[in-house]
Amino acid sequence: MRKIQFFDTTLRDGEQTPGVNFNTKEKVQIALQLEKWGIDTIEAGFPIASPGDFEAVSAIAKACQKMTVAGLARCQKKDIDAAYEALKEAKYPQIHVFLATSPVHMQYKLKMTPNEVLASIKEHVTYAKSKFEKVQFSPEDATRTEKDFLLKAVQTAIDAGATIINIPDTVGYTNPTEYGAIFKFLIENIQSDTEITFSSHCHDDLGMATANALAAIENGANRVEGTVNGIGERAGNTALEEVAVALHIRQNYYQATSQIELSETKRTSDLIAQLSGIKVPKNKAIIGGNAFSHESGIHQDGVLKNPETYEIITPQLVGVKTNALPLGKLSGRHAFTNKLEELGYHFDEAERNLLFKKFKVLADKKKQVTDQDIQALIADKQTREADLYQLSAIQLQYVSNGYQAAVVSITTPEQEIKTSSAIGDGSIQAIYNAIDDVFEQKPILINYEIQALTSGEDAQAEVRVTLTNPQTATQINGIGVDFDVLKASAKAYVHASSSMKERG
């Protein structure tokens, strides 16, 4: 039976989701959980893109001992050199080189002729091969590339040393029949003395990313690229958890398997949702909150008699726990450490000790500390560590004509406390106006969400905001957690404002 490789690009393509901005520590946490989940290759980032990306790729290269760690590079020697430097300490390094091949990209973006594109592929794949044993080539916008030219581009890359060929549906244009036919055509017509791995990479603009990936597998692809929860720019990418479970449930049909540890699926999904700020829709396949719910009386009756009447996937298969035990103020360090590992987090001893102290403070305020509380505690710690600016204090008072006034104090990177006051129609508007004064910027608030992490009067509030920079149109997410809703709201806004200030 064929074994399908899983290539995760959550930290590269997934981070292109508007508002998502993982810091290096978060990226390492995610990488280690992906390794635990069974991912074969992780695309850790685009090293040439920024010093932060380079740092993150290097950190992941050092941290991961089982997965292949890949870096993205354009067909430019400086990109390939940057990837080499970032990945030189990886146990299993790989480079992913790409160049567009569709007529519209060649004419308007690259301003290159087809022959110039082929020459560039040959030159830069050859150069990449001189530095990396594993070289992957992607003809960007492959599904809108003329079939014969696509074959020429792929053959050129193989002749230059590429052993992995990825076929990107860059704009989510294709359908399963067309996409499968592309793989069949290429596999039947390429010439190579070495084994070539063919990989799918699909976007979900027409809602067919998972179906297209499975069609590629049916037609000979032995690697699938995607992201956890399907996050990514525009409509997102192939959701890897969907492909993994589909291969398991329909193994007899696809005659293929993978090394994905399905029981780690929910844990992996939750980690990405928490750190990215992108909530999983309740009706999301495999890991949504309603994935195992039945409202219809007929369905409920059938499930009670035999779950197989309406459930093809059990909650246990993907790691959904129905009997997770909460922690409390009497829980010790060992129980807390076990809970961190159970949730997919990996910290050194100093970080665990700091988190345990925060947990004890939290446990004194709550009867039961749930998994959601622990995840929020960690997210709050990591976002506050990454922020250059920290919320110090807020004060509120009512003023005349129905307005409210806020006084906000924020600690700057130079450890200076800046204080500003402002008024607004309500408490939150007043707080946000005061924060804007401190940061000397005026972003546009395009989303504000609040939810209780757990039930009960002692629940913590989690606030998520999305800000847009009016000059650059860049979107930034922020998250804040506190027992006080207004303080959680302020934390979220400071988090997003700090990231926006840092980006410029």
- Detail the residues annotated as belonging to a binding site for Mn(2+): 13, 201, 203, 237
Number of neighbours of residue 297 by Cβ within 10 angstroms: 8
d(C-alpha 165, C-alpha 55), whole Å? 27
d(C-alpha 241, C-alpha 49), whole Å? 28
d(C-alpha 165, C-alpha 247), whole Å? 21
Beta bridge partners of 397: 405
d(C-alpha 324, C-alpha 214), whole Å? 33
Cβ atoms of residues 200 and 216 within 8 Å: yes
Indicate the pairing of strand 164-169 with strand 475-482. Answer: unpaired
Which residues in 177-214 are b (16+ Cβ under 10 Å) and which e? Answer: eebbebbbebeeebeeeeebbbbbbbbbbbebbbbbbb
Cβ atoms of residues 394 and 435 within 8 Å: no
Cβ atoms of residues 67 and 40 within 8 Å: yes
d(C-alpha 83, C-alpha 58), whole Å? 9
Radius of gyration of the chain (CA): 24
d(C-alpha 240, C-alpha 211), whole Å? 12
d(C-alpha 421, C-alpha 407), whole Å? 4
* Secondary element (H or E) of residue 450: strand 444-452
Helix H segments across 11-113?
24-37, 51-63, 77-87, 103-104
User: Which residues are CB-contacts of 481 (< 8 A; sequence separation ≥ 6)?
Assistant: 376, 377, 379, 380, 453, 460, 461, 462, 463, 488, 491
Task: Tell me 203's DSSP state.
Answer: B
The alpha carbon of 337 is separated from its chain's Cα centroid by a whole number of angstroms, namely 25
d(C-alpha 482, C-alpha 463), whole Å? 9
Q: Which two tokens stand for residue 309?
A: 């009447």
What is the residue type of 465?
Answer: V
Q: Which two tokens stand for residue 4?
A: 């399908």
Annotated binding residues: 13, 201, 203, 237
User: Which residues are CB-contacts of 327 (< 8 A; sequence separation ≥ 6)?
Assistant: 335, 336, 339, 359, 363, 368, 369, 374
